[in-house]
Amino acid sequence: MILNYREAAPIDINVVTDLLFKLYNDEGQSPDLTWDELFAENEQIFMDENHEFFLALEGNKSVGIGHGSLRYEYVNGANDGTKGYLEAIYVLPEYRRKGVAAELAKCVEQWAASKGCCEIASDCLIDNIDSYHFHTKIGFAETERCIFFLKEIEKNV
């Protein structure tokens, strides 16, 4: 298996959306997100210089995606200044456990470093043990755990 890795171009928007849709829906991340909504979001992301998508390809077949961003706001556990952020990573099931995700993460890291970052952060859901182990295996250190709360209130108009 010979894979190539490259930055995605706007012409790749359909494959980018397909792969991220699999992540967000097949993996239970955002089951209410439609493909069209994700496509529209990706159109905006492609125009934002603070984001970059990377593809893993076997020949012409896209088998994985990494999404990186630059974050200027507070990021749990990080120092002040601009940080790289591993927003998303997904590899087709038949290509997993072969180093593809690690290479995609490395692409995001190198891109963030080229933008002047000296740290890269990421996150995963608290019950996503596979993602947790992936992150620690490629060198991320857990910084803290957090539980978010939401309470609906009556509008007072």
Summarised one tens digit per residue, pLDDT across range 37-46 is 999 999 999 9
Instruction: Tell me the whole-structure pTM to 2 decimals.
Output: 0.89
Please provide the distance, in angstroms rounded to a whole number, between the alpha carbons at the two ends of the chain: 61
Q: Cα(133)–Cα(129) distance, rounded to whole angstroms?
A: 6
The predicted pLDDT at position 153 comes to 92
Q: Topology of 4-137 in CATH?
A: Aminopeptidase (3.40.630)
Q: Residue 103 — pLDDT band, cuts 50, 70, 90?
A: very high
What are the φ and ψ backbone dihedral angles of 30, each rounded to 5 degrees? -145, 70
**DSSP labels for 59-85?**
TTEEEEEEEEEEE-S--TTPPSS-EEE
- pLDDT at residue 56 tops 80: yes
The predicted pLDDT at position 122 comes to 94
Please list, in sequence order, all residues whose beta carbon lies within 8 angstroms of the beta carbon of residue 51, skipping any fewer than 6 positions away.
45, 67, 68, 69, 70, 87
Closest by CA position to 135, among listed 61, 10, 7, 126: 126
Q: Where are the domains of the chain?
A: 4-137
Please list, in sequence order, all residues whose beta carbon lies within 8 angstroms of the beta carbon of residue 3, skipping any fewer than 6 positions away.
56, 57, 58, 63, 100, 103
Contact call for residues 120 and 126 (beta carbons, < 8 A) = no
Tokens representing residue 43 in the block: 């159109």
Tokens representing residue 105 in the block: 């993460």
Closest by CA position to 104, among listed 154, 68, 148: 68
